[in-house]
Structures are given as structure tokens and as C-alpha cells.
Structure 1
């Protein structure tokens, strides 16, 4: 008998167990609390009751909607496995050289910007800059963006970016209608030479508002028929550069508001729209260093006259000062925005493309005015060389004045040969029945020019370098050559070496609190882990370097990604179909309502236009409903924050002949699972309406309940919240919609898609798949979590929120809880009693939290004088405890005010935050120590995040609106005024 070897047996058994484990499991890396933490936290949530995690969930989610079955998703993969699988999918994309144009251009992302902004969590995990004192870096970068846009367009005020060029043009249409002197006028004229996707989105937006969109030649239009607005493309979609002064003057003489869609790079050489007489300028900053990304995300821009500053959509960054007189940036004129004006708002936009706008602004800072002009001149020069070469090859150009795009007239026979030769060299051109369009860009080389010539005229031997010597002037009339200087401000003339730009980027980053510093506990704005493995594929060339209108045969990897992501999201939500097109939550809301509208019209019930919306709803809900052509009727909420079912029933009955939809957020805006949700859906269906569910709080439902199962017909998802696309400092976002089977035929189409003709709804965004290049983030997240991980994440999100509520309840009342005393994934702290007892406002606590190293929770929403806290599943118990200890310590500071120990007006909360400049000042006349001000908790002594400025004077900034950098000649004067 052979003697056994015990240690070998043990080794074999251990190896077998190890092999069966997924040692690279992503789930515990995404979810913060350990198993031991979970047990300890449950003991706090329910002391001495032996509460399990299953018990917590069953007492939180109503039994009649609890989704007991496991999600039908692929098994969880490790980070390495998922990246390998995605790389295989990406390899199915073919990265050809695209000269298609149509508003999209290949460009060079300076590596210093790619590595230190696009790939830097210190920039992409920041939140929207509502707490300006800890967002000064990003606000400065956006301020630079506004200056860049304002200078190049020749208009007085610009916003901090919009979603894409097409929707920016649609926003211009809305603004024009609002400010036009032609009241009750519904005619809007669109230049036929606008980009096709822009025309299509304008038509989609116009339809529910009863606006007649006339597409034609503005030069032959006399505008004697009352028209409230006109949009021109400059340069045109076909590349033509026209002097539109006469057209604009003719239109304005008839009271028409004029918008010019334009190209920032071209405006370094061409007369800006403002000098041509335009009222509004829109466009995309994509070619300023932002990858093509198969259509997005990119930062659009919107500039207009100062007279329209209170009507401009989106965010505006303004310059104010803090309480010490130091210059400070903040979001300006917020009273005009949708979250305040609600159904009276002219736009539902509640976001911007901040990360992309920062990249574009840094591109401008890096190159400066001369560098940008050099790039534009080179692109234009090469275009002239190509034009001359094709002329020598006996081709006719459709137009002789151009910047970077030429249109070549061809016979049908030549067209086929050209297309074949282009495909053989892996080049995409812009084909029509009788022309071929060619758009050059920053990446174009002389070799590319030679290749293009060979595609058109292989039999000709043309000396390209000799043609270069013939280029002496611009390919447009002298009257259109720009004379006005631009970007004279110091910031655009100081950081042209990589060292200097790197240091500038880092200085700004250091002024911003992001998830790299601490948790950002914002209710309804889920700030969870944005894992590195999820972010890596975004900059792969197979995803980033593809033109949105490249043939579908070249984008099979993207098509597989879209299909798989749509299928997984449909399974998670319980819906039959998903559209990935909406590129923000607000756009998802709007698209969902348009789907409902199209459904009713298809059923010959166009009179259904009443949208019921609870009083607790986010401001985008009523604004979106109005944009979709609906009339808003509010529904009351009860004392527990739930929908008043009796009031809902009464109003559904009253408006039953006209009821279109109910918009509801679930779990509720107040952070609880309403027990009547299934009944609420039944009521709406009984009266012929559809249920639109705002999926902002899907973070509390994934794996536990599905909107499609309990009665919702449409639901938008915030992929930048629940599914891990980062906030990017206030954008990008993605807001796809899921719909029930009967609504699938009405999902958004797009002119690029061959099946668009069969769709009942036009596009809602410029790209057929919206912000396509960041969809791999959500694909990676779902793949690495699997059904088990996603479900566990939701359970832990609910546990973390209940843990915080339990810890803080003795100090701050929890305003709303569910039927069994639980909150969902967020809780509302009621701070209102503190105003009476200590004179402390919610803002004081928000600012004091900065001294403890935290970003404030959501302030005064959905209830004024409260804070909404959402910890997410990614935060560890240690981080949750640190936040709770900060809030408890602040409550003790408030108690000192209540008992008279601390002064009611001169105390750490009223004076917060305390930046280093205040702490180190020679003057200290406060009745508490510098140490208490700056180091109020033990961890601040180990690591201190310093707010960049003291509390900002918002009212001053609105009264004295400054939203662009002062030119170099005025710089010292501006600084003197601010100090005074």
C-alpha cells in the first residue's frame, strides 16, 4: 500500500477550492461594507432584534412589487475578464479615416488633457458645482469656456455648455419664441444647409408645440409671412461660407430672431456671428480636443446678447466675491432655471457637459489665440490644396468659398468608382446622389491629401507640394475675414508649455472636492464608485475615434454593445424595449413623454394632453411635460410625503377624457417606497392614461423590483447615477428610456438610421445613440456585477441609508419614512427647527460640513430647510461613520448656540467655511479658536481639504453679472473693483 502524503492532499483540496473562487470578483470592490460591517450596521438599525438584511429589505419594499425571481443576466465577471470580453467586442469596430464632417471632426486630444482631465477621477467624479466654495477649480474652467465661446462668437454672454449642437439649436428656437415680438406666431425658418440631424431634432421639438418648421433657402425668403425665428449654418453643412449680413438684416427688419449655428475653429478666421448681426450662436466644441466617440458626449455651446441673459437655457457661471472680498465663482441666475420655474421654465435642461467643456476650454488655454489660428489656417490651407488639385483633375466644386469642407460634383459613374477606391483605402466620405463631400480636420496630413487625390483621380500625377506655394489668401471674400481680436485674457496667453498647463490643471483640481476626497452624500444624485475598469475603455480608439455617421458595417462592435446593454437594461427594468438615444436624464423624460404622446395620437386620441405631476416632483418633470405639449395638473402629497391617492383619483376622473400621463418618481422623491404604487398605476390606466416613471431612484430597485412589472409604461434611467457613468462635475449623463411592448414602435428614430422612416418619433438628440462612447461604462458595471452583485448593491444602498438615518435620528429628525419605519436609499434630515432654536439655516450646516472635509447633501430639496442624504452602496461603514460623526459634531456646535455658549451670529457655522487664507490671516477676531474653525474633527488633522474661498455672496453676483474673463487690458482694473 502506498503511504498517503497528508500535506499534498491538503494542497490539492485547497487548490480545488481556490480554482472554484472568482479571485478577481469585482462585487466586493464596488460594495463598501464587509459582511462584518453589515452585521454591525443592522444592529444599529434595529437594536436587539436580530434583524437580517433580508428582513430589512422585506420591511422596506412593498410585498406586492417585490421581484422575487433572479434577474436573467450573465454571471458576474472579474475586471480582467470583462475587459478582455469588451476588447473583443471593440475589435469588431473598424476605425477608418472619416472625412464626413456634418458637425463632427477628428481632432487631437492633447495627452496632457487626456491623462489629467478625461482620465482623472479628480475631474470626472466631481458633483455639479452647487456648493461653489468647494468647486472653484471647475467653475474657473467653465468660466474660461464661456469666455472662449463669447469671444469667438462675438456675443456678450455664453452658458457653461449644452448637450449637443442639434438640441442647442432647438433651445434657440424656444428662446426665440419666448422673446419674439410676434406673439402667437408659430413659424420658424430653418436654413436647408443646416446639418440634417439639427433639422430633424428641431422638427421633433417643434411638433408638440405647434410650431411650423419651414426648411428652405434663406436668401430667397423675404420673411413677410410672420416668422419668429431663423437658424442659419455658418459655414454651411455642405461647407459653403456665405456672407449672411443681408439675410440677417432682412430677417431682423421683420422682427425675426436670428440664430447662427457655427464652428468655433472657423471663427478664428471668419467674421463672428455677433458681428454679422445674429442674436444667438450655437454649435459644438467637439473639435477642441474631444474625441468623436461615435457621436458623444460633446459640449455644445450657446451664446447670445446680454439682454437675453435671463432666458438663456442651461447653467451660467458668474464671478462674484466671498465675504472677505476675494473673487469667487458660482452658478449665476439660478432663479431662471427649471428647478425653480418648473412648468414656467422655457427649458428642461438641468445639466451641462461639464467634463467635455472643461476639456475644450483647456484646449483653448493650451493653444491660445495664435495656436488656434494656426490650426485653423493649416486646416483651411490643406482644404485649398485639395480643392486646387481636384480642379486640375477636372472636377467641379459645388461652391468656391469654404473653410474646411468642399463639395465635389460627380457623375453617377464616377461616384461609384470614387466610393469603391475610398473603401479600398478605408476612408469615409460624405456621399449624395450627385456630390461627394470632404471635410478636413486637425489630424489631416499631406499624405491624406495625396490619398484623397488618388481616390478621385488615380490617373493624374499632381504635385501637392507645388500647390502649397500657390495658396496666398483665404477662400472667401475679404469682407468675411475676421478683424476682431479674441482670447486676449491672461489665461489664454500663459499656459502653452505642458509643464505650465499641467500645473494649472492641477491647481484647479486641488480646489475641487471629488470622490477622491470623501463621500458626496447627495440624495437623488447617486455618487457611487466609478471604477477604473469601467472607465478605461472610454479612451480606446475603437470606441473614441469613430464618426457617428460611419457606415453600420464598420461599427459592428458598437452595435453588439448597444444590443447587449439594451437587453440587460430591459431585463433589469422589466420593459420590452429600450432606447439609448437620450443623452441626459432631462432628455429621457422628454423622450418618454413624446413616446406617450405619439401613442395617443396613433390611437386617434390627440386630445389627451393632461399630465398629472405630484407636487414633490423634480423641476424637470413639469418643464419636460410642457415641452412635450402637455398641460400640467399637480397632484397633492400627504403628510408622509406620499401621493394623495384620493386627490389623484379625483383628478384622473375629472380629466379622464384628456388624461395623457402621470409622472411619478419611485421610490418617491421623499426617499420612501410608497405602498400604493401598483394601485396608482391601475388608476391611471383605468382612465386611459400612461404611467411615466422617473427612474432617478432606480438605485433602490435594481434586482428587487421592476417598474415594468408593477405598472409603469415608460421609465427613464440615469446611467450617470445607478449604472456608474460618473457625473463629470455636472455632465455628461445618459438618460435612456425603457418602454412597455405597446410603446416600442414609438421609440425615437434618427435620419442616419435606415429604419427611421418607420418610426413614429423623430430624434431627440444629434447622435443616433446619444453619448455612445460612455455606454461601455455601464456595460462593464453590469457585466462585472451580474444579477447577484446588482441585487446585493441595491440591498446595501438601502442598508447604508437606513444606517445613517438610525445614527442621525437622535440629532436630526428623519422627515419621512415608509409604512414600516424604513427609508429607501436616501433619507431627509429635518433641519427646520434649528432656525428657531439657534438661528441656523440649512446653508450654514452645508458650509460647515466643508470644514469637516465633506460635500453637503442635497440642500432644501425636495423640502425647504432640509437635507437629503444618499450614501450609496460603495461607501464603507468607516466613511459612513465619519460623515455621521461630522453631523453629530455640528449638532453639538448648534447646541452651544442654543445654550448661549456660542454667539448667535458669530460662530463656526455662520462663518463657515474657513479657507486657509482666513485661518492664516493676521486678523482673527472670532470668539472661537482657529483650531476649532479649521480642524473640527480628528481626521482633518491627518488630511485636510481646504475650501478655496469663504462663503460666496450669491446676491452680489446676480446683481453684478460677470460671466466672461476680462481682457488683458482690463485685468488690473477688474481685480481692483473686486477687491473694493
Structure 2
């Protein structure tokens, strides 16, 4: 046995396990199982052409050597990205802690109260800083959040403004360039006309439904947003403000001036730049717009005993329910980064943040004064942290480069400097030497900085923020460490037990893949740094793109989309650009199977397409004849088909090549949703089945952790004809020759976490990747066999096999008064997170074990489900006081003096013997979603406010 092989550490079942599992399934070999599962005509004839796999030790040496190619210059580029100081207590206890980074989205609230509290802290922080009434639990990046703000204002314009048909949206020329690019991407398909101009000359015409301002502007000038918003409100024009969160410590909250939406990024709150991400954006608005708010919202409710509990609020607005009526396709967040940013505020508190913001501002003012003494023309009349200097930028650039300093050079006569939290007085003095040398003068030495105020009086902050106890209690490392641990203990993550979520692929996130994320030379590279300073990153990015292209069978890859939903949208926009290049821009019909994930139709509508739904057969497959009929009916306008493979029902549809041919024969392109790519790698691929573009979920198939609900990465891989249209960036030249405008803020999206997928592929290699896919199929079919006779599996392939996931039917248990939700809650008592509930079929569980789980853990999970089935058999519909309806059972219930239930405490808490050795306790009883939605509280409200509600 080669114990150095990473595949041995990643893949759960050993050879003895596999032999026993195959016997249970009823096949002689793993190859026989794969033969009976996967249609022969889509099998790859040759293996993957990838480098020989590295051991973990070899990989860590390799990635360390690559990191040396990154040159971490002292950076003052700004544009929404700044060097930060991540408190070590947060780095060690959250970023590097699998108890935080391996958790799933908190759909099962009773075993996610820690994450939910951390996100509620984040939302409270955002509402405090922005002065708005409600905030979500983060978005993907600042530019995406700005685009979502524009879409929200467009969606509400008719009912709130009586502005039906008005489609002009004003964009201040002070906006960040990457945000402008993304606004352009998102505006055109849905019929919004962008007008870019100066705030001071805007005419507030009735032709506009909304506007967006940057606060402070991209070059650092603080403009009079107060007067602008007052005039806009009088003209019935809604205003969004993109704000720098650290500046809001000193600048008045835009909500106080009447802004309708405030967005931005929390990257400055301790999150490494990471060559562009991941970073948690924020989005805050008025409560009147809560039903249009994109993403997730955490809200307060109560549990069965009336105790305070948290959960995701207003879940009915999520895109898998709204589908083509959705105004956003966002179905994820940047939870891990939002948790870290929120904890940064908890650790520093209001006084600590004031100290940091004052330090930044005072040093900026001291630098401005010194540059003026040297004769430089600094033109910002009001600023927080950024100076705007008119001078010969070429001369400055030459000297700065020699001194390993990164400044920003918008044109030949302009230099901007953005000071940050890490800037010390010695750094200011070093900066001054750059300009002194350019001016050919003696340098000026600053020994200390004094209090400064370069903010207009009517824009200075007067309102309090972070007044609640949580932000004023945990300022020593001991207190902070214990607070973080107290929340972690409330959450079930992969470090406790398997999480068998269908379509979500909760596999091992190996420590060796994660370690480099904390390394200085990966974390401290600005996304707009010169390419020569990012050669380590560019090497990883190029290799990862090539690896993913090889795995998918496509010609090229873009890593820019920073979530699966963004990948969907990017893929459709590339198809749209392709049709337009062929003078066929009228092609706007998107065929989508009825079983598709709800983000598919939402993405299609956002891309300006018209959705036509195709039927499914009784077996859950695409109805080929219905598809053919609709493709031929719309052949003159057919844009594309969106298809998931294997299907959402966990089946390799044998007609897939016939399906893709029908689309091509009628002039369309095929987009393949990569949600189930874990069942393809090394066995088949999207190119082989006839797709033209696919997105991949790197947070599913390629091992990036789910982080409690994000980060995710959703790159797109494309066939040859689509390569010219891969997305670009306005600051850094990337993408195809005819690149579409930006999909996310940074050129390469969330580049830092792409290191994880790079390592995953490097260490597994072709053989390990293929074996992982085979083992995922083995594990799923083993569960199917073990549950036979207890649960019915709804769909299977022609030989009765599942793919990498399966759907079990819980609807028959309604005869006993038991719903699928009751089974999900009871699983918590057994120490397990529920599989995916009621998707894609209501009343079912979709189970995906992944390749990382061994037979022992899978057996524990199967034993739990079988035990629950036996419990159901002993329940009658008349008896609602039963062990499933009362689940989950908390420690406080079990230790109470009185016991009101017709079953024992042991039955409630320890239904199987092994649970006594490792009991996970839910911290609240079943939450009341309806109560929380009727009494919407989305901040850390004082208990009195909660009780009044």
C-alpha cells in the first residue's frame, strides 16, 4: 500500500470495504457497476491527459515554490481592494478551522445556530454602517452587489414609482471601473439603458428610474451624495450607493440621507486580497423591498418551546421557487468571509474600528501635506484614504517600480494612492521618497501624525454604530476565542459526520489543499497588480484552466464567475454573444427541462432569454419527443438548451447525445449545468456528450469547501467556437478576442480559493480523479441497496442503477402522519445533517454520499434511516406526540425535571447504541419559520424588541 498516495487519503472505502459493498449491490466488480450505470456511447475511450499525481508533501513544496513567484509589493492601488490585518484569532479559529469551513448552507437551522448568529452579527453590522433597515447575509462581490441593486430598483420601479416603461439608469463617472463593466453586462439583456455622467451636472429627469453613486469615488473624492439624494428623492428617482465600509466609520450612513440601497465589500475587514477574492459583499436596503432582496437573509424566530432561534428568513423568495419569475439568480453567499468580517467587527468593536479608520485617515492627510510641500498638486478637496495627484505618472511609476511600490496610474498625468490599515509611518516616509526623487527635492520625514479631518461637515458621521453587547464584549483574544468556539459547537459540519446532500457534493476538503490559503504570498496580491508580480498566481490559473478544459473536453476555461449561478449566467451570455456575432441575435429561446434547478430559468431571464419548459417522462428523464417538437417549433429563434447531466434525478440519461443533436440541428447551443460533474470526471465529459459550454461548481466536484454557504466558484468551460467571447475585465486584459464585459469584480474571480481545486487535481491525477468518480457511484448504489425494502428509490437507470446520487420517496409515510421534514429533523438526533429535502421532487430526500465517506460512516447513516423507518412503522396518524414530530430533541429537554413524551429519554437522544460515544446536540427545538416571516427581525435586536414582536 502506497501510503504517500493522496487518493488513499481522499477516497473513503478501502479495498475490503469495496469488495463487501459490491457484494451487497450484487455485482462482481466496480467495472461491472460502472458498465451497468453509464451509457456506453458516452464513455471516454482514452483516459485524462494530466500530470502524474503528487504526494501531499510534494504538492506543498510545489505550491510553496510557486508562491515565491508572487511579488508582494507594498500596494496602494485601491479600487475596492486593500491590504488588511487578519486577526490571528480569526485566522486560526475560523479560516483554518474545518468546524467552520466544512459546514453547509444553514437550511437545517436547528444544527446551524452558531453560523446563523455569526451572520446575524454581519447583518447588524451592515445595517448599522449603512443606516438601512435590512441587509442580507452577503453577496459575491461589490460589483455583483451593485448590479443586483440596479436590478432591484428596476424591478420595483413600476409599483413604487409609477414609472412603467422608464428604463434609464444614471451611473456616476466616479464608479469603480469593474463595477461599471458589470453594470453594462447586466443592463443590456433586461432592457436598461445606462447613462454615465457627472453627479454635479445630472438633471434629475423623469426619464430615469434610478442612479448609483460611489462613496468615496474611485479616485478618492468624497462627493456631496446628501444633496444628490435629496434632489433624486424629489424627482422620484431611486438611489443606490456603493460605499467603502471602513470610510463609513467616519462618513455618515447613506441611509440617513435617504438612499434606497447601499452596497459594497467587507474585504477591508481583515480579509486577504487573494488576487481578487473571495470577499463578502454587502447589500442593504429598505424593509419595503424585502421581497426583492437578492440572496439570503437571516432572521429571528422562536422554536417549539418559544425560545429565541435563528433561521434563513423569507425562503419562499429563493430562486428555486421563483424560477423564471426571479429578479436574481443568486442562490449562494460568501458566508465564511461574512463570518470573518463580522468577527473582525466583534473583535475590534466600535472604538477599535474608529481607531483604525482614524489611523488610515490621519496618515493619508499627513501624506497629502508632505506631497503639497514637495510641490505636487493633490486635487481631492475631501477624502478619506485616497489621494489624487496630477503629475507626470510615467516618472513616478518608474521610481515606484524600482522601490517595489504599487500605485495606480489612471492616465499619463494622474497618480492615485490609497492608504490602508497596514500602512505604518515608515511606509508613508518611504512613499514620500518616491515623490521627492521625482521632484528632485530633499525628502520630508514624518515622525508622527496628528488628528486630521478632510471630510465635509455635513457628511461627517454623527450616528452611533455597533452599540449592541456582542460588539462590545469580546476584545481580548481569550474572550474572542471562547466566543468563536461557543458558536462552532452549535453547528454540525463535516468534522462531525457525513453530510449526504444530493446535488451539493459535500466531499473532503483536504488540509493540504487548504493550508496555502493562509500563506502571505498568496493572500497579499492585489487583483490589479502588474502581471510580473503575480507569476505564481498566473501559473496556477493557466494550469487550472488547462486541467478543467481537459476534464470537460473543451477548448478553454474562464475562472471569472465566482458562483455556480454566475457560471450559468456567464455561459448563457457567451452563447448570446456567439449568436450575435453570426448576425443571429434574435435567437432568444432557451429550452429548460421541468426538473432543472431553479437558477437555470432565473439565469436565462437575466440573460434576456425567453424560457420554454420541456416535459419529463414518468421515469424522470427528458421527454425527447417533446424536446424535439419544441426545438423544431422555435428553430428560427432557438438559442440554447440548459441541461444537467447526469440528470437532476441522479440518472445518466441514455438519450443525451440524441438530445444535444436535436438542439444543434435546430441552430441552438447546449449549455450543461455542471452541478453533477462529480459523476462524470474521468468517465465521460460535457464535450463528449455534445455540449458547447458548461459551468463547474469548484465548491462541489473540485473540493473547495462550502464554508457554511460560500465561497463558491463557478468557472465556465467552452467549445472552440465560444472561446472568443470568454469574459474580460476593464482593468486587466483577459478573456477572448471578442470578450463579453465582466461577470464579476476581479479578473479571475475568487482566485485565492482556486488554489484548492488546483491542489485537488494535482494530487489525485487522472487515475485518482477517475477512481473518485467510480467510488462516488459505488457509495450511492451501496446506499440504494442497503435501503431497499425500507425506502423506495424514485428513479434509476436502465439497469436499475443510480448515478452518484439518488432520490428516496418519503411520501408514503404521510399515511402515518409523517412528512419528509420530520425525517430530516429526526436525523439530527442520530447525529446527521439531512440530505436534500424536497428537491427536485416534493416529499423526497436526495442523497449523495460522495467518494470521501468510508463504509463505516455510510453504514451508520443507513442504520439511522432504517431505524427511523422502523420508528415510522410504530406511529399512527392520530398520534402527533411522537418521536419524529418532536424531533430534534435538545439537551435541555433531556435534562429537564419533567418528561411529557410517550417514549423514553434514551429513545429520544440515543436511538442507536453508537451515538452515546459521540453525541451531537441540536441547540434549539424545531424552528417556527412562519412566525419569523410574520415578525421579520434581521438584526441582533435587543430581547425586548424580539419579545414585543
Q: TM-score, normalised by structure 2?
A: 0.98
Partner Cα distance (2:206, 2:904) in 1: 71
Q: What residue number does 1:216 align with?
A: 197
Task: Summarize the Cα distance change of 1:879–1:755 in structure 2 as closer, same or farther, 3 Å threshold.
Answer: closer
Q: What residue number does 1:15 align with?
A: none
Task: Summarize the Cα distance change of 1:466–1:778 in structure 2 as closer, same or farther, 3 Å threshold.
Answer: closer
Within the alignment, does 1:611 sit opposite 2:567 as a pair? no
Q: Deviations over 1:905-929 (max 9, x none)?
A: 0011000000111111123111111
Within the alignment, does 1:418 sit opposite 2:393 as a pair? no
Correspondence for 1:832 among 774, 794, 811: 811
Q: What residue number does 1:772 align with?
A: 751
- The 8 Å contact of residues 144 and 179 in structure 2, kept in 1 or not, is answered as yes
Q: What residue number does 1:393 align with?
A: 374
Correspondence for 1:67 among 20, 27, 44: 44
Q: Deviations over 1:433-479 (max 9, x none)?
A: 2111000010000001001110001354465446734x4x4102211
How far the C-alpha of 1:645 sits from its partner, in A, is 0.4
Correspondence for 1:973 among 934, 939, 944: 944
Q: What residue number does 1:875 align with?
A: 853
Within the alignment, does 1:100 sit opposite 2:77 as a pair? yes
Q: Deviations over 1:208-262 (max 9, x none)?
A: 1221111111210112151111000001111111221221122222221100000
Give the match's secondary structure for 1:457: helix
1:137-216 alignment runs, 5 A limit: 137-180=114-157, 181=161, 182-216=163-197
Correspondence for 1:366 among 343, 347, 369: 347
Give the match's secondary structure for 1:716: strand
Within the alignment, does 1:890 sit opposite 2:865 as a pair? no
How far the C-alpha of 1:104 sits from its partner, in A, is 0.6
Q: What residue number does 1:951 align with?
A: 926
- The 8 Å contact of residues 389 and 462 in structure 1, kept in 2 or not, is answered as no
Partner Cα distance (2:891, 2:613) in 1: 47
- The 8 Å contact of residues 222 and 251 in structure 1, kept in 2 or not, is answered as no
Correspondence for 1:677 among 656, 675, 678: 656
Correspondence for 2:35 among 44, 53, 58: 58
Correspondence for 2:289 among 308, 327, 334: 308
Q: What residue number does 1:5 align with?
A: none
Q: What residue number does 2:517 align with?
A: 538
- The 8 Å contact of residues 662 and 684 in structure 1, kept in 2 or not, is answered as yes
Partner Cα distance (1:830, 1:198) in 2: 46
Partner Cα distance (2:743, 2:688) in 1: 27
Q: What residue number does 1:274 align with?
A: 255
Correspondence for 1:703 among 665, 682, 686: 682
Partner Cα distance (2:139, 2:605) in 1: 20
Give the match's secondary structure for 1:505: helix
Partner Cα distance (1:343, 1:109) in 2: 40
Partner Cα distance (1:757, 1:698) in 2: 25
Structure 2: segments with no counterpart, 5+ residues: none
Task: Summarize the Cα distance change of 1:466–1:503 in structure 2 as closer, same or farther, 3 Å threshold.
Answer: closer
- The 8 Å contact of residues 165 and 284 in structure 1, kept in 2 or not, is answered as yes
Within the alignment, does 1:801 sit opposite 2:780 as a pair? yes
- The 8 Å contact of residues 6 and 55 in structure 2, kept in 1 or not, is answered as yes
Partner Cα distance (1:607, 1:192) in 2: 32
Q: What residue number does 2:672 align with?
A: 693
Give the match's secondary structure for 1:71: coil
Partner Cα distance (2:754, 2:337) in 1: 16
- Output the aligned Cα RMSD: 1.2
Q: What residue number does 1:115 align with?
A: 92
Partner Cα distance (1:878, 1:756) in 2: 46
Q: Deviations over 1:852-898 (max 9, x none)?
A: 00000000000000000000000000000000000000001001114
How far the C-alpha of 1:697 sits from its partner, in A, is 0.2
How far the C-alpha of 1:51 sits from its partner, in A, is 2.1
Within the alignment, does 1:31 sit opposite 2:8 as a pair? no
Aligned residue pairs, count: 942
- The 8 Å contact of residues 425 and 447 in structure 2, kept in 1 or not, is answered as no
Q: What residue number does 1:380 align with?
A: 361
Q: What residue number does 1:8 align with?
A: none
Partner Cα distance (2:860, 2:867) in 1: 10
1:881-960 alignment runs, 5 A limit: 881-898=859-876, 904-960=879-935
- The 8 Å contact of residues 725 and 737 in structure 2, kept in 1 or not, is answered as no
Partner Cα distance (2:38, 2:165) in 1: 49
Within the alignment, does 1:404 sit opposite 2:385 as a pair? yes
Q: Deviations over 1:21-67 (max 9, x none)?
A: 85411111100001111110011111xxx521001001100011011
1:844-883 alignment runs, 5 A limit: 844-883=822-861
Partner Cα distance (2:128, 2:939) in 1: 9
Q: What residue number does 2:216 align with?
A: 235
Partner Cα distance (1:687, 1:312) in 2: 38
Partner Cα distance (1:755, 1:870) in 2: 37
Within the alignment, does 1:136 sit opposite 2:113 as a pair? yes
Correspondence for 1:572 among 539, 542, 551: 551
- The 8 Å contact of residues 222 and 250 in structure 1, kept in 2 or not, is answered as no
Partner Cα distance (2:191, 2:585) in 1: 13
How far the C-alpha of 1:480 sits from its partner, in A, is 1.2
Structure 1: segments with no counterpart, 5+ residues: 1-20
Partner Cα distance (1:685, 1:463) in 2: 69
Partner Cα distance (1:868, 1:68) in 2: 31
Task: Summarize the Cα distance change of 1:271–1:889 in structure 2 as closer, same or farther, 3 Å threshold.
Answer: same
Give the match's secondary structure for 1:363: helix
Task: Summarize the Cα distance change of 1:479–1:235 in structure 2 as closer, same or farther, 3 Å threshold.
Answer: same
- The 8 Å contact of residues 261 and 286 in structure 2, kept in 1 or not, is answered as yes
Task: Summarize the Cα distance change of 1:972–1:867 in structure 2 as closer, same or farther, 3 Å threshold.
Answer: closer
- The 8 Å contact of residues 723 and 736 in structure 2, kept in 1 or not, is answered as no
Partner Cα distance (1:594, 1:972) in 2: 47
Q: Deviations over 1:173-227 (max 9, x none)?
A: 1001011122122211111101100000100111212211111112101121511
- The 8 Å contact of residues 230 and 258 in structure 2, kept in 1 or not, is answered as yes
- The 8 Å contact of residues 165 and 766 in structure 1, kept in 2 or not, is answered as yes
How far the C-alpha of 1:976 sits from its partner, in A, is 4.6
1:320-339 alignment runs, 5 A limit: 320-339=301-320
Partner Cα distance (2:364, 2:904) in 1: 66
Task: Summarize the Cα distance change of 1:688–1:493 in structure 2 as closer, same or farther, 3 Å threshold.
Answer: same
More moved, 745-754 vs 661-670? 745-754
Q: What residue number does 1:256 align with?
A: 237
Correspondence for 1:514 among 493, 500, 509: 493
Partner Cα distance (1:466, 1:446) in 2: 7
- The 8 Å contact of residues 159 and 312 in structure 1, kept in 2 or not, is answered as yes
Partner Cα distance (1:141, 1:163) in 2: 18
Partner Cα distance (2:666, 2:444) in 1: 74
Partner Cα distance (1:468, 1:542) in 2: 30
Q: TM-score, normalised by structure 1?
A: 0.95
Q: What residue number does 2:416 align with?
A: 437
1:11-50 alignment runs, 5 A limit: 22-46=2-26, 50=27
- The 8 Å contact of residues 22 and 78 in structure 1, kept in 2 or not, is answered as no
Correspondence for 1:357 among 313, 338, 356: 338
Partner Cα distance (2:782, 2:618) in 1: 24
Partner Cα distance (2:456, 2:169) in 1: 29
- The 8 Å contact of residues 521 and 856 in structure 1, kept in 2 or not, is answered as yes
Correspondence for 2:504 among 513, 525, 535: 525
